[in-house]
Amino acid sequence: MLSPASALCPALFITAPASGEGKTTITAALARLLSRQGKRVRVFKTGPDYLDPQILQLASRQPVVQLDMWMAGEDWCQQQLFLAAQTADLIIIEGAMGMFDGQPSSADLAARFNIPMVIVMDVKAKAQTAAVLAMGLANYRDDVQVVGLMANHCASNRHRELIEQTLPNDLPLVACLANSEQIKLPERHLGLVQAQEINTELEGLLEAGADVLVATGIADFIAGLAPVTFFEQPLAPLPALLKNLRIAVAKDVAFSFIYQANIQLLIDMGAELRYFSPLSDSVIPAADALWLPGGYPELHAQTLADNHSLLQSVNDFHRQHKPILAECGGLLYVLQSLQTLAGESYNMAGLLAGQGVMKARGGCQGMQTAALPEGELRGHAHHRSASQGTPEAMSFGRRANHPAPGEAIYREGSLTASYLHLFFPSNPTAIARLFKPVG
């Protein structure tokens, strides 16, 4: 039996004790620093995240793929790392939430692929305690290798010394950032502001972040990382089940929560993708199926409502019984109306009875399996809105780690709509059946 192919590449997993410690800001700054030094950096993001990858892709000037062992499967994640390792000078993975949060967690992913971790910690208002917390995280599991601490919001040289003197020799303080507020990435209710909305400002933040990291000496630490062995995991060839199928894909600042892996799968299965903007285009391009992904329709509700010709085009498409998939923001768009946080209500496409209502707090998030007639698909939900007055659901998502019913899944003629964001590679055959029904 032949041994599996392998590729060697230095790699680093950037984690933290919690969300909000500065992981994305530092990961993006590091990617930009190394990129402008001429290094090819491939960045991955742990978990079902749409916003961070937009920033990280701009920072690294390379495509960014989400890695999640539950949603995508271990084999799929292994193959993505193997492919990246063949051409990259460095692989960086940014974790999600805290180091041990979630099932599987960032630590689980790092352990599975033998990737060393560095902890980013906001050390404001703590000194020796920060070091002790880092030691606790580093030693909690024997199968996780933590190779350093990066201190964010370090107030002074004395502050640094107190942390550094408390750390053991095998857990060095590899970088200190005095004040990352000057390079902090702007946020809103679902996470970071989209890269395409602040492109010019973001370029300045990334360059400033890279400059800040230069002074920390982080480049020497990166240069000393040992290569990691990534093994090939051949995946089953994708059948050309979507050959010659034209899929119209909504894509603009209102609809942008799109996994690159989903796009690639559709293309690899033979589909021709035709992008359009519900904000500015008057008609859907000629297509056999329509995909309305998630995004921020609530921030552009009036513009969407005023584009009567496009709304009419969506209705015409539905009346022709062509398949439509509407996810989260897409669901809000196909309802009869959408109410903003200000209480203003705007007419939407009206393919599905009901009203979307934005909420200041609450909402839903978490991994779920969508049980569709076409087959089961894995995905997740993350929203701060509710749908009211909707018809009876066809089915409900099955939560990965909780017995309560998940998101409602609606089927209205050729329309499939839900708050769930589906990860297409979790079941390519089901996706093919969804966009190209048999018969």
Q: Percent of the chain, pLDDT > 70?
A: 93
pLDDT digits (tens, 9 = 90+) for 57-75: 989 999 999 999 999 999 9
Q: Strand, helix or coil at 141? A: coil
- Write down the pLDDT at residue 288: 97
Handedness of CA 296, 302, 307, 313 (dihedral sign): positive
Q: Is the pLDDT of residue 180 over 50?
A: yes
At 30-60, the pLDDT tens digits run: 999 999 999 999 999 998 877 888 889 989 9
Domains of the chain: 6-231 (3.40.50.300), 246-435 (3.40.50.880)
Indicate whether 185 pLDDT > 70: no
Residue 275 · residue 317 · CB < 8 Å? no
**pLDDT per residue as tens digits for the range 305-330:** 999 999 999 999 999 999 999 999 99
287, 314 in Cβ contact below 8 A? no
Give every strand in the sheet of 364-372, ordered side by side.
Answer: 272-276, 246-250, 289-292, 324-327, 415-418, 405-412, 395-399, 364-372, 375-383, 421-422
- Beta bridge partner(s), residue 412: 415
For the stretch 362-398, pLDDT in tens is 666 688 999 999 999 999 998 778 899 999 999 999 9
Whether residue 192 has pLDDT greater than 60: no
Dihedral sign computed on CA atoms, order 106, 292, 191, 343: negative
The dihedral through the CA atoms of 15, 16, 19, 22 has a sign that is negative
Confidence of residue 1 (pLDDT cuts 50, 70, 90): very low
Which carries the bigger pLDDT value, residue 439 or residue 15? Answer: 15
Q: Which DSSP state fits 185?
A: P
pLDDT at position 195: 45
Q: Is 364 a catalytic residue?
A: no
- Residue listed under structure tokens 């492919």: 83
Token couple for 88 = 């990259």
State both tokens at 324.
């439509």
Residue 182 pLDDT exceeds 60: yes
pLDDT at residue 181, rounded to an integer: 58
Q: What's the mean pLDDT in 9-21?
A: 96
pLDDT value, residue 188: 41
State residue 366's pLDDT score.
Answer: 83
Structure tokens at 214: 């230069």
What is the pLDDT, as a whole number, of residue 364? 63
**Unique residue bearing structure tokens 């809103």:** 188
CA distance 239 to 273: 17
* DSSP letter assigned to residue 146: E
Show Cβ contacts of residue 338 under 8 Å, excluding neighbours closer than 6 positions.
297, 298, 301, 304, 305, 332, 345, 346, 348, 355, 356, 357, 358
Q: What is the mean pLDDT of residues 173-177?
A: 93
What mean pLDDT comes out for the span 287-307?
96
Per annotation, catalytic residue among 154, 176, 328, 364 = 328
Calculate what percentage of the chain has a pLDDT beyond 90: 78
Q: What is 82-114 written as a DSSP string?
A: HHHHTT-SEEEEE--SSTT-TTTTHHHHHHHTT
Cα distances (Å, whole numbers) of residue 121 to 16, 163, 258, 293: 6, 11, 30, 34
Cβ atoms of residues 356 and 332 within 8 Å: yes
pLDDT at res. 186: 56
What pLDDT score does 154 carry? 92
What 3-state DSSP class applies to 76? helix
Angle in degrees, CA 222, 226, 231, rounded to 5: 120
b vs e for 369-407, b when ≥16 Cβ sit within 10 Å of the residue's Cβ?
Answer: bbbbebbebbbbbbbbbbbeebeeebbbbbbbeeeeebb
pLDDT given at position 199: 56
Please give the model's pTM, rounded to 2 decimal places: 0.90
AA identity, residue 355: Q
**Mean model confidence pLDDT for the chain:** 91
pLDDT tens-digit map of 89-139? 999 999 999 999 988 999 999 999 999 999 999 999 999 999 999 999 999
Tokens found for residue 241: 């089940």
Whether 416 shows a pLDDT value over 90: the answer reads yes
Cα dihedral value 289, 64, 82, 382, nearest 10: -70
Whether omega before 373 lies within 30 degrees of 0, making that bond cis, reads no
70/355 Cα distance (integer angstroms)? 32
Residue 375 β-bridge partners: 372
- Element (DSSP H or E) covering residue 416: strand 415-418
Lowest mean pLDDT among 130-134, 256-260, 289-293, 329-333: 256-260
